[in-house]
Structure 1
Amino acid sequence: MKALVLAGGSGTRLRPITHTSAKQLVPIANKPVLFYGLEAIAQAGITDVGIVVGDTADEIRQAVGDGSKFGVDVTYIPQHAPLGLAHAVLIARDFLGEDDFVMYLGDNFILGGISGLVEDFRADRPDARILLTKVADPTSFGVAELDADGRVVALEEKPVRPRSDLALVGVYLFSPAVHEAVRAIEPSWRGELEITHALQWLIDQRRDVRSTLISGYWKDTGNVTDVLEVNRSVLEGLEPTVEGVVDENSELIGRVRIEAGAQVTGSRIVGPAIIGSDSVVTDSYVGPFTSVSEDCRIRDSEIEYSIVLRGSSMTGVRRVEASLIGRNVEVTPAPRNPSAYRLVLGDHSKVQISS
């Protein structure tokens, strides 16, 4: 069995972060979200991995390399434009061959991995298996409709009027039957080859398409709110360690990780929180669910429930929360305008001005 990981796309919902960085490399607890997917694939016993890349191909290649650090062998598959998930399957045909495969969206996060799902697929070998979860707003997702027996009868991509609240999770398992399906469909009104259309084609051809309803934690990290929520979830399982230097005037409370080379001076860190390697925190407060990446500087500031990316600094700022701060950013107080009152007063006026 192989894996096809999708790491293209422009990440418009995470701009301006994704103007200069791949959305799949936004860090969760100081580790790119893409890495969690690759680790889950390796844990499921899959070692042959194709990664579909687009405009950010160089950055993805630099971060992932040949895959050996994850225990997998990576083949990069260029996609000249983000033309849909089914298009990614189409262009990966030579890599996939006649093998079963799992397709994993590189910006998705599934707590607990996919090992059990892969084992079930290998045992039953349907033509396709999709993962579903209940969501509050199905209009932002591919949506599945099930019959009374729980069989998939229809799928629709981002429907205006959803027929259910069951959204497709960004992990799919396929037999080679899907290759005929992606060749048979036409682009949608969005100009993309939709994987939901390919799945619907399989259903219409009476092929075996099954679903699994997952109740565990899943997020599409496509926007800032979801990125912060996933970061919170991962940090809740953080093992406290101190590999850097924390002076006697500092206080660490709860699950706090201070990575090698980091320095904490005169500060209060309340976990779960992580301070990245070679970062310096001075006379500051870092609150729960905060990830500070490597080579950052936080001085005389307060921050919580936030993510700070590599090489950024905060000086004299109170207070920052629920924020995603990009790489090499400087955050400082705004200059104070001189306070002055301009008055035009008539005769015999009385004015009270607070000092």
Structure 2
Amino acid sequence: MQAVIIAGGKGTRLRPLTYGCPKPMLPLLDRPFLEWMIERCRTAGITDILLNVHYQAQQVQSYFEDGDRFGVKIRYIEESTPLDTAGAIKLAEPYFTGESLLVFNADILTDLDLQAVIKFHRDRGAAATLTLTRVSDLTPFGLVELGDDSQVLAFREKPTPEQAVVFMEKGIDTINAGTYVLEPRIFDSYVVGEPLSFERVVFPGVLEQGYKMMGFIWDGYWLDLGTPEKYCQAHQDILEGRMPYDLAATATSPAPGVWVARTATVDPAARLIAPCYVGDRAAVGTDAHIPANTVVGANSIVNRPISAGIYSQGSILI
């Protein structure tokens, strides 16, 4: 199986954080989010990765190179102009081996069991499997309607509040969760180099062509990182244990819920209140007070009480 990660977007909803950094390279507890995604692929046994890039592509390429130091093989699919979500996949077609494709949007934080969704797809002989999640407020999202056998029946536009009530009563409450298992043949009829949307063209086309499309519902953790508020929430959810994340891979814990990167220095007199995180090469001084739910980013210097929040790399609070 091959993985395809769609990571070329500008991240406009995350501005100003993405003015100088591509969205998938924003740090999640000091590791680029994209590094976490690649590690997930490797852990699931998928080491052939096609990585779509566009906005500030050089940052991504210079960091990951050919993927060797991450235990994978990475090949880059660079868009000269944005081709929408599925257009980027079609551009990668020369690298397809004929195996199934595990496709990710590079802005979704989830504990989705990748092996489970791959098995589900294979066992049902699907041409496409969409992972879905349930939400309490349907109005911001397009909906995916399933039959009793988990086969996708239809796609619904974003509902009005009144329509949302009706859909909820009918049990139509699942949305696209941004991870797919796809057979390469579903792209055969499309033209390379032209914009192509999964939601508006490819997925409806799968149904129209009579291919089998399944929906895999995941009731675990799921978060779209597309706004600064959600980006902050992701860190808090990790610190509070709602989202599994291997903090021990990059940090030690001198006290329960307090995580300090191995290259950071913390004065014994400093007060660190769990849960919190101190990043790479950060220095926390004698007079520092780090409250709960705080992330001190890499290269920061802190020597006074601070308010809870995320502190960017290189900040100095004296």
Q: Give the TM-score normalised by structure 2.
A: 0.85
User: Does the CA-based 8 Å contact 1:256-1:274 persist in structure 2?
Assistant: yes
Return the offset for 1:262: 1.8
- Deviation digits for residues 238-288 of structure 1 (CA, Å, limit 9, x no counterpart): 4599769xxxxxxx7532122233222332111222211221122122122
Q: Secondary structure at the match of 1:201?
A: helix
The answer for the alignment partner of 2:104 in structure 1 is 104
Counterpart Cα distance in 1 of 2:114 and 2:278: 29
The answer for the alignment partner of 2:233 in structure 1 is 229
Structure 1: tracts of 5 or more residues without a match: 245-251, 316-355
**Which of 211, 218, 222 in structure 1 is aligned with 2:222?**
218
**Which of 188, 210, 213 in structure 2 is aligned with 1:209?**
213
- Deviation digits for residues 33-69 of structure 1 (CA, Å, limit 9, x no counterpart): 1122111111121111000000211111122222123
Structure 2: tracts of 5 or more residues without a match: 242-246
- Deviation digits for residues 155-177 of structure 1 (CA, Å, limit 9, x no counterpart): 24656666543110111110122
The answer for the alignment partner of 1:59 in structure 2 is 59
Alignment of 1:147-226 (within 5 A): 147-156=147-156, 164-180=172-188, 182-183=190-191, 193-196=196-199, 197-226=201-230
1:292 matches 2:292 = no
Name the amino acid aligned to 2:96: L
- Deviation digits for residues 162-213 of structure 1 (CA, Å, limit 9, x no counterpart): 65431101111101222135459xx8xxxx5220221111111211100111
- Structure with larger RCO (C-alpha < 8 A, sep 6+): 2
Change (3 A) 1:145 1:241: closer
Q: Secondary structure at the match of 1:94?
A: helix
User: Does the CA-based 8 Å contact 1:102-1:171 persist in structure 2?
Assistant: yes
User: Does the CA-based 8 Å contact 1:219-1:230 persist in structure 2?
Assistant: yes
User: Does the CA-based 8 Å contact 2:274-2:292 persist in structure 1?
Assistant: yes
Counterpart Cα distance in 2 of 1:263 and 1:295: 10
User: Does the CA-based 8 Å contact 2:258-2:273 persist in structure 1?
Assistant: yes
Q: Secondary structure at the match of 1:302?
A: coil
User: Does the CA-based 8 Å contact 1:33-1:108 persist in structure 2?
Assistant: no
Counterpart Cα distance in 1 of 2:264 and 2:206: 53
1:312 matches 2:315 = yes
Return the offset for 1:79: 1.2
Return the offset for 1:300: 1.3
Change (3 A) 1:201 1:40: same
Paired residue total? 301
Alignment of 1:22-33 (within 5 A): 22-33=22-33
Q: Secondary structure at the match of 1:17?
A: coil
- Identity score, percent: 28
Counterpart Cα distance in 1 of 2:183 and 2:147: 23
Alignment of 1:232-243 (within 5 A): 232-237=236-241, 238-239=247-248
Return the offset for 1:295: 0.9
Counterpart Cα distance in 1 of 2:202 and 2:156: 11
User: Does the CA-based 8 Å contact 2:121-2:214 persist in structure 1?
Assistant: no
User: Does the CA-based 8 Å contact 1:170-1:220 persist in structure 2?
Assistant: no
Change (3 A) 1:253 1:198: same
- Deviation digits for residues 212-257 of structure 1 (CA, Å, limit 9, x no counterpart): 110000111111221122212222354599769xxxxxxx753212
Counterpart Cα distance in 2 of 1:73 and 1:273: 34
Return the offset for 1:72: 1.0
